[in-house]
Structure 1
Amino acid sequence: MPFMRVPKQEWPVCLLRWKDRDIKGKARGELEVVDEFRSFVRPTWRPQLSEFCTTLTGITQEQVDHAPPFPEVLEHFRGFLAKHQLIDAATGRRLARFCFCSDGPYDVRDFVVKQCFISKIAPPAWLISDVVDVRRVVGEWHANATAGADRSAERRPSGAFPLPRRVTLSIPRQLHALGLEPFEGRPHSGIDDTRNIARLVVELARRGWKLEPNTPINPNRRWPWMGKRGRVLEEYYP
């Protein structure tokens, strides 16, 4: 169960496995981090980072200038999956059941598919299965945990922490909802975001919440800015 956070300049993943899987493949809810993968990515379209991006993520121009381009990062990551016997090293065929998880639907559903278009490569088969939108799962858990209950501390259901209404469930707010705050590391750093997403899913599993893919991936979807042969129509990005 790899957990991803995919800014276009970074590819960070935490790999989680069930600790207590029996011989029939069933688990009782204990997940643990068994490995991590991280690579910066050298942009080929608009390769100069903005000051806003550097300030937000901490990624420097030097880091991406010396990083491999996206197709090479995909190959390195493919090797990582093969090392853990999740896919076949030669064919890329899945050898085990796993899914990708991210904060919100955008990382794999949109950003990776878009980057494959820009890089003029097909999204690999091992990447385009449905994913788990962790933000949505946390929201569903919190809504269920607080349904019909007084929001005061005296009557709040066990483990459910209050959230303001109609707010975006950022990673720090999700951690708060599950009583896991504070955020560990630097917010908006890809690897630190990923590690905190993993914390969320480990806790959801510990509480017995069902984890299953909830976001479909359409590798053939086209956006208005897509031109021919991987060309980005600049008029959509002033």
Structure 2
Amino acid sequence: MTWLRFALDKALSFVGKHALILALILAFLPFLIILRRRLHTHPHSCEDDTVPEASISSLRRKHRKARTQLSPSSISGGGDHPQALEQLQPLADFESETDEDESRDQMAKRTKQPYEAFLVLDVEGTCVQGSGFGYPNEIIEWPVCLLRWKDKDMKGNAQELEIVAEFRSYVRPTWRPQLSDFCRTLTGITQAQVDAAPIFPEVLQDFRKFLEKHKLLDAGGHRLQRFCFCSDGPYDIRDFVVKQCFISKIPVPTWLTWDIIDVRRTVGAWHDSSTASGAAERRQAQAGVLPLPKRVSFSISRQLHALGLEPFEGRQHSGIHDARNICRLLIELARRGWRLEPNTRINPNRRWPWMGKRGNVLEEYYS
């Protein structure tokens, strides 16, 4: 029995030691939990070193201002300032890092764009006070800005547009060669400028050479690259070009009617999609609660305001200045990731009541 008593004592001793260790662990467990929580919420923990995304831009502005104030060129006295320069270096490092983050954010906004180039056209035409779009306007200024992508990749993704070339010519009217006072005041175009200008068919030939020079058309009139004509509304090509070709007794060039972007309509679509009121209107229309309200027609100035680009640069109703401001709209839409594609069609055979036979204007309408 001695050996049995000895074994039992050993077993009890083993269990007792481990029970004591277990009791100590259980006793200290609450303290370990509290310590762990304090470490994760300590004001000097690693989490506090992370800068919220919302404050990145404000920090960047502050650091750039500080860098300007501490830059060697702004330190007076002509001597060495090692302390100031030591402060400048970490600011430069921070700005470099945040600029790289900003660059990555911009790359994320790049959109697949189907067109290689955009021709922004904004013509000016003859007019009399009180005349509408039914009047037989003749084109007196033909300005076009050519836009191309700066950053388009092999997959067609792009975000940055720029003006790479411009074409501008005044045009001499032939049906009513004398400009009205109202027309001269509105457009800023003088009688001397149109009197010295070529007639429309000659301007069109010069513009065709411009398109060939920039590898958009070949000598046979075939498209070499995908390009769009762009205008503020459909009026420039749908109305002015069709009327002018009739008066000039020439057909409307097919390359003028292929793909056309009504920029005013594009900005309106962007505005509807990006505002709370536009989203609410779409939900109401889909639910059948209310009909979709008529879209507000934006002037160029109002479009610039909607995109935060105001004011208008240049003289309003100057064709070339209007075209450049329309380019600003397209450049900003692209920067915001909006897909630029055709949204209107042109009927080159459209007719007005004043159109007689063989390109003659029926004078009884405007005698």
What TM-score comes out, normalization by structure 1 length?
0.89
Shift of 1:48: 0.5
Deviations 1:128-176 (A, max 9, x none): 11310001111111121113489xxxxxxxxxxxxxx975411111100
Largest Rg, 1 or 2: 2
Q: Which residue of 2 aligns with 1:4?
A: 121
Q: Which residue of 2 aligns with 1:153?
A: none
For residues 18 and 232 of structure 1, do their structure 2 counterparts lie closer, same or farther at Cα, with a shift above 3 Å needed? same
Q: Which residue of 2 aligns with 1:159?
A: none
Matches within 5 A, 1:1-238: 1-7=118-124, 8-24=139-155, 26-88=156-218, 90-148=219-277, 168-238=297-367
1:108 match: secondary structure: helix
Q: Distance in 2 between matches of 1:225 and 1:130?
A: 28
Q: Distance in 2 between matches of 1:119 and 1:74?
A: 11
Q: Which residue of 1 aligns with 2:61?
A: none
1:9 match: secondary structure: strand
> Does structure 2 conserve the Cα–Cα contact (< 8 Å) formed by 1:18 and 1:27?
no
For residues 149 and 54 of structure 1, do their structure 2 counterparts lie closer, same or farther at Cα, with a shift above 3 Å needed? closer
Q: Distance in 2 between matches of 1:185 and 1:237?
A: 33
Q: Distance in 2 between matches of 1:149 and 1:123?
A: 37
1:205 counterpart letter in structure 2: A
For residues 78 and 149 of structure 1, do their structure 2 counterparts lie closer, same or farther at Cα, with a shift above 3 Å needed? closer
Higher helix fraction (1 or 2): 2
Q: Which 4+ stretches in 1 moved above 3 angstroms? A: 165-168
The percentage of aligned residue pairs carrying the same residue is 73
Deviations 1:200-222 (A, max 9, x none): 00001111112111110111222
Alignment gaps of 5+ in structure 2: 1-117, 125-138, 280-293
Shift of 1:197: 0.3
Higher relative contact order (CA 8 A, sep 6+): 1
Q: Distance in 2 between matches of 1:27 and 1:78?
A: 29
> Does structure 1 conserve the Cα–Cα contact (< 8 Å) formed by 2:268 and 2:295?
no
> Does structure 2 conserve the Cα–Cα contact (< 8 Å) formed by 1:21 and 1:28?
yes
What TM-score comes out, normalization by structure 2 length?
0.58
1:10 match: secondary structure: strand
Shift of 1:234: 2.2
Q: Distance in 2 between matches of 1:183 and 1:202?
A: 15
Deviations 1:78-113 (A, max 9, x none): 01000000001x211111100100001100111101
> Does structure 2 conserve the Cα–Cα contact (< 8 Å) formed by 1:10 and 1:190?
yes
2:175 match: secondary structure: coil
Question: Larger deviation: 183-192 or 139-148?
Answer: 139-148
Q: Distance in 1 between matches of 2:166 and 2:298?
A: 25
Q: Distance in 2 between matches of 1:173 and 1:207?
A: 18
Alignment gaps of 5+ in structure 1: 151-164
Q: Distance in 2 between matches of 1:86 and 1:149?
A: 37
What RMSD over aligned residues (CA atoms) do the two structures have, in Å?
A: 1.7
Shift of 1:224: 1.5
